[in-house]
Structure 1
Amino acid sequence: MSQSRRNFIKTTSLASIILVPGIGFFVQSCNNKDKGGSKDKGTSNLTRAIPIRLVDAHIHLFNARYLPLKAIIDNVPILTLIAGPIANLLYALTDDFDSQASSFVLEDDTLKTMQPDKIIDWFIDRTSRKLDYEANKTKSDKTNKNLEQSELLNSIADLAKEMDKEQKSINSFNQNVFLQKFAEQYSQANAIVPDNDAKLKYKKMYSDPVRWALKKLSLPNVDAELQQYVDCDGIPVINFLAIMMTDEVKIYQQATRGYGGANLALQIHYMMDMQASYTNGRTYYPFHPVQTANMMQLVNNSKGKLLGFTAFNPKNKNAMESFKMGIAAGNIGVKFYPPMDYKPFGDDDAVVRENVKDFFTYCETHQIPIFTHCTPVGFQAKKGSGLNSDPKYWEMVLKEHKNLRICFGHAGGGDPKVKDHDFHGWYSTPKQWSKIDCYAKKVVELCEEYENVYCEIAHLGNIIKKVKDRQRFTYNLIENFNRSEPPCRLKDKICFGTDWNMIGMINEQQHYYDVLVDIFQHPKLIGNIDNFFSENFISFLNIKKFISNNESDYLTQESRSYLEGLLN
């Protein structure tokens, strides 16, 4: 960062602005009301250090169409017969890329807190709106044909068939008759002089099967089972699925608005290549070309303020080819997600081991940044596959690939809850921190041992919610912040991230940012506030090499100039 930028002072008055020599931040007068974060000892009630700029090292911009929903839902035995139709319903209800259907939008924080019965009502209303949209997207005389060809209506028909079978115990359902009757009822319900009885019959034809299926999906025992595969911080999975209905452009627009008055300089999004990790793990959008093209269009539109990481899944037959295509498209790095049922070291599958070895060799040689999930909770392809995130595996990898450029997402996690295991993370007591199964401690040690190893602390939500966990996190951060020698000090490696738009972080970006800004008021941390909130991750990204090597058309000259400016 240039000396002129480091010496920048926001001028208001001598009483409210203080220049701190040699430190790259300004201290600004503010009320600093407690939003969940308590002030650390040594912080003035009148002043508060503010980062010059913000880099969110960890966001997601995908929606339901990027997920293998049938395979995920099929993990619950009582949903097996309707897993496919529910998945197809959800895919059809998801907005197209850059959809103009603004009437389908509801604020995500509202969806996050809705009770399951209200969420089901919301889905039914969305179904009604989508059916109207599909029926009328071409000339009016094609309404019946539009509906009969509709993916949404066909998924409803599939659900109606299973509902009919369950309620009548016989297979008397005729799908073609259902589709024809539905189109007739729609026409009568939407006539110039509508028939009220026809309106009720029409609504019943789509609302009954949708409600029947989603009630099954939201049963407490079903939700508890699904939470093992899609960890939603205890928030019902059906709420998460509702949030996943938004189109990618709107998701990105929401992502940029979540930090209050922070000077947002850059966000990094991550892709997930999940299909090969599941039996019948089809996603609505194939990873290449659709998922990649959609994400790169967002990068293109951002004018340099968004960068992406493609994904590597060693279970893919064309794993290396797919990864290289993602890099060539204009992604700056690659995500490696062990809970998708593979290990970074010592996997049982010889093909996976070979693919992983080739991948690490290539990334080390070309200094391509790798971002890995490092907490045993989150998306899991199979029960227990979250344990593949254990940093002990990375300890073995780094012995063979000492120059690997890697960032540990979540930095080991807070206090991960896994059945039959006693894991510890950033909320550890000193005794827990000293144990061999403390993921956070091992991540810190790897950051201190290897020059190109970094970590980021996204989704440690308890620092917002629980004073005790916030205090323990702060203690562990301070104790480890500056204990090793340069260039391998944690203070030069640890980075800010949120994990938005995972449901636990919906409507929490600013809160999370504010709490961490408060924590960094501590005298032992305050001098590195800019490093934590931006500079460390910019260093990890290796932007200069990326700009010089990547020729993707998605990276415009304007974007390249902006990124170069981040280095000055």
Structure 2
Amino acid sequence: MNLPARVVDLHTHLFNARYLPLESVIASAMKKDESKLADYVAQLLYALAGSSYADAQDLRADHPLPFTPEDADEHYLEQIWDVVRAGLMERVPADMIAGRSPADLLDQPWDDAPAEPGLSEELVGIIDQLASIDYAAEGWIDPDPLPLHEPVTSFKELGAAPRIVDVLGWARRVIRKALRAATDLMDKFAWGSHVENYLEFFLTMLKSEKAVLKQLLSSYDKLGAGNIQVLHMMMDMQLAYPVPKPPRYPFPEQLRKMEQLKQDNPQSMFGFSAFDPRRDNWRQLADTAIAHGFLGFKFYPALGYLPIGNADPVLESRVAAFFDYCIAGDIPVFVHCTPIGFQTKEKKGLNAHPKHWRALLEHERWRDLRLCLGHAGGGRASNLGVSSAGWMADNDAEWRDADNFARIVADLCATYPNVYCELGYITELLDDPTARELLVANIERARAEAQQNGRPHDFLDKVAYGSDWHMPSMVDNTARYLDVFVDIMNRPAYVAHRDLFFHDTAMAYLKR
């Protein structure tokens, strides 16, 4: 396969659990405002999440367990348990381990290990809270009451002198039950038209920032050292939920940590901060981000706001001021643009409809906004009665439908000088053998329409490669996803655009 010399992945995420309001994210996917189970699972993930910057260890196992698709949930449960076990065993000193067989060590009294305040004690407290969950009240009945799913007890009920093996066995039962219940209750389609494995998402969220970046870059090993750069997108999600709960890291701290990651890896990554018009201090946060090397901003309408036409006059004025700010500095804005996405249970995904961006760009005030429409409208998806065939349209009627996100995105790219798009996370390209040819056919439809309508730009000059890593379906399939586009761009009709698609268009958008 003739690989491109250089690749920019224009759509990635490098944060971990501590950067997200996981209590709200999990509860919302359960279609609830709040949930004790969501709260305690979030606390568990916060405690386990590694940090590259001094306040936590990366406890992930170095050697993943064997994996088969049929055993995916079991695989991820055991991987997460492996991290929990490592955290619990932190309290056991080296001199207690030395000279003992594993069986002998496990038979030692738990209380013989020094109980210094630390991760082990924090985990015991969180696991004890999980053991108290009323699963019936949460709406979950265990469909598979195996021994590992038997009713769990509190830590105190282990007795006055539990052994290490008793504590680990108790913790494993509690953890497995809690994670299975939480992920069973989460709507598998909460974030899109593709079934998500939330256990895999939780596992990925446990890595440190550096480990996340390392995993992402290793997905592109076939390109050779130094030939991949990634654009990292931050997310500011706290205020999107009915009961806002802060992430473990406040947003200014998130900025500092991601700035440090960029400084440590200047040749590998670029960074975008995030904008939320519900923040009174959005301008201060934006100035800080730009001053510290962030190149632009992520704008995520599915979290509850529009690019234009917000009913709330305060939101409307802040969004307008934000776009003025970005135009004044020629600062790039990256937006989610599919009908669903990482929406809350209020299902505001249609806020991302590209018709709203058309309405914005038609104003002379904002026509020069430097904009990238993420996912380029996406694949086939529906939300609240609105359906978009996207890049999977299989006939002219579907392509020309008024709500086909992909068609509108392509037209905006062909019309406006600073409007771009990227083709990340169109999961049909991984699953459907006909999807690749549908994508190509629709690219040609878009190009032909642009020419017929006298648009000044060729769509192929405005579209770039992206993945939306670390969404669960992309983490293990990054190389396959790249291969789809390498195959397409190596075709004789497209080879002249290959460097543009994989590298140059992204750099033009980023002004690099």
Equivalent in 9, 27, 38 of residue 83 of structure 1: 38
- Give the secondary-structure state (helix, strand or coil) at the position aligned to 2:388: coil
State which drifts further: 141-150 or 356-365. Answer: 141-150
> In the alignment, is the contact (CA less than 8 A) between 1:232 and 1:503 conserved in 2?
no
Query: Cα 1:148–1:377, aligned 2, differ >3 Å: closer, same or farther?
Result: closer
- Give the secondary-structure state (helix, strand or coil) at the position aligned to 2:342: coil
> In the alignment, is the contact (CA less than 8 A) between 1:375 and 1:439 conserved in 2?
yes
Partner of 1:227: 189
Q: How does 1:402-421 map to 2 (within 5 A)?
A: 402-421=367-386
Equivalent in 115, 121, 137 of residue 144 of structure 1: 115
> In the alignment, is the contact (CA less than 8 A) between 1:88 and 1:151 conserved in 2?
no
Q: Distance in 2 between matches of 1:67 and 1:258?
A: 24
Letter in 1 for 2:309: G
Letter in 2 for 1:354: S
Q: How many residues align?
A: 471
Q: How does 1:540-555 map to 2 (within 5 A)?
A: 540-543=509-512
Q: Does 1:535 align with 2:504?
A: yes
Partner of 2:133: 162
Query: Cα 1:244–1:112, aligned 2, differ >3 Å: closer, same or farther?
Result: farther
> In the alignment, is the contact (CA less than 8 A) between 1:464 and 1:511 conserved in 2?
yes
Query: Cα 1:153–1:277, aligned 2, differ >3 Å: closer, same or farther?
Result: same
Deviation at 1:417, TM superposition (A): 3.5
Query: Cα 1:108–1:419, aligned 2, differ >3 Å: closer, same or farther?
Result: farther
Q: Distance in 2 between matches of 1:114 and 1:344?
A: 43
1:117-145: per-residue Cα shift (whole Å, max 9, x none)? Answer: 44333333322211112565999998224
> In the alignment, is the contact (CA less than 8 A) between 1:134 and 1:146 conserved in 2?
no
Partner of 2:414: 448
Q: Distance in 1 between matches of 2:469 and 2:174?
A: 32
> In the alignment, is the contact (CA less than 8 A) between 1:478 and 1:525 conserved in 2?
no
1:402-424: per-residue Cα shift (whole Å, max 9, x none)? Answer: 11000001000011243532212
Partner of 1:12: none
1:417-452: per-residue Cα shift (whole Å, max 9, x none)? Answer: 435322120111222011111100100111111100
Percent of aligned positions that are identical: 30
Q: Distance in 1 between matches of 2:509 and 2:416?
A: 12
Q: Distance in 2 between matches of 1:292 and 1:406?
A: 22
Q: Distance in 2 between matches of 1:108 and 1:419?
A: 40
> In the alignment, is the contact (CA less than 8 A) between 1:163 and 1:212 conserved in 2?
no
Q: Distance in 1 between matches of 2:127 and 2:428?
A: 40
- Give the secondary-structure state (helix, strand or coil) at the position aligned to 1:268: strand
Partner of 2:476: 507
> In the alignment, is the contact (CA less than 8 A) between 1:147 and 1:153 conserved in 2?
no
Partner of 2:293: 330
Equivalent in 69, 74, 87 of residue 22 of structure 2: 69
> In the alignment, is the contact (CA less than 8 A) between 1:112 and 1:243 conserved in 2?
no
Query: Cα 1:346–1:166, aligned 2, differ >3 Å: closer, same or farther?
Result: closer
Q: Distance in 2 between matches of 1:137 and 1:350?
A: 61
Partner of 2:339: 376
> In the alignment, is the contact (CA less than 8 A) between 1:377 and 1:417 conserved in 2?
yes
> In the alignment, is the contact (CA less than 8 A) between 2:386 and 2:403 conserved in 1?
no
- Give the secondary-structure state (helix, strand or coil) at the position aligned to 1:249: helix
Q: Which runs of 5+ in 1 are unaligned?
A: 1-31, 33-47, 168-176, 190-198, 544-568
Query: Cα 1:469–1:213, aligned 2, differ >3 Å: closer, same or farther?
Result: same
Equivalent in 435, 445, 461 of residue 479 of structure 1: 445
Structure of greater Rg: 1
- Give the secondary-structure state (helix, strand or coil) at the position aligned to 1:459: coil
Q: Distance in 2 between matches of 1:136 and 1:287?
A: 36
Q: Does 1:281 align with 2:245?
A: yes
Q: Does 1:206 align with 2:206?
A: no
TM score, norm. by length of structure 1 = 0.76
The CA RMSD measured in Å over matched residues stands at 3.0
Q: Distance in 1 between matches of 2:248 and 2:94?
A: 21
Q: Distance in 1 between matches of 2:502 and 2:65?
A: 25
Q: How does 1:165-176 map to 2 (within 5 A)?
A: none
Partner of 1:249: 210
Partner of 1:385: 348
Equivalent in 87, 100, 115 of residue 72 of structure 2: 115
> In the alignment, is the contact (CA less than 8 A) between 2:340 and 2:347 conserved in 1?
no
Query: Cα 1:276–1:160, aligned 2, differ >3 Å: closer, same or farther?
Result: same
Deviation at 1:304, TM superposition (A): 2.8
- Give the secondary-structure state (helix, strand or coil) at the position aligned to 1:123: helix
Q: How does 1:47-66 map to 2 (within 5 A)?
A: 48=2, 50-66=3-19
- Give the secondary-structure state (helix, strand or coil) at the position aligned to 1:269: strand
Q: Which runs of 5+ in 2 are unaligned?
A: 97-110, 139-152
Q: Does 1:460 align with 2:426?
A: yes
Q: Does 1:347 align with 2:314?
A: no
Partner of 2:392: 427
Query: Cα 1:103–1:528, aligned 2, differ >3 Å: closer, same or farther?
Result: closer
Q: Distance in 1 between matches of 2:76 and 2:120?
A: 27
1:186-229: per-residue Cα shift (whole Å, max 9, x none)? Answer: 6x43xxxxxxxxx23x224323332332231132xx23x2632x
Query: Cα 1:102–1:284, aligned 2, differ >3 Å: closer, same or farther?
Result: closer
Q: Distance in 1 between matches of 2:383 and 2:330?
A: 34
Q: Distance in 2 between matches of 1:95 and 1:255?
A: 16
- Give the secondary-structure state (helix, strand or coil) at the position aligned to 2:425: coil
Deviation at 1:232, TM superposition (A): 8.2
Deviation at 1:468, TM superposition (A): 1.8
Query: Cα 1:359–1:103, aligned 2, differ >3 Å: closer, same or farther?
Result: closer
- Give the secondary-structure state (helix, strand or coil) at the position aligned to 1:57: strand
- Give the secondary-structure state (helix, strand or coil) at the position aligned to 1:458: coil
Letter in 2 for 1:500: W
Letter in 2 for 1:284: R
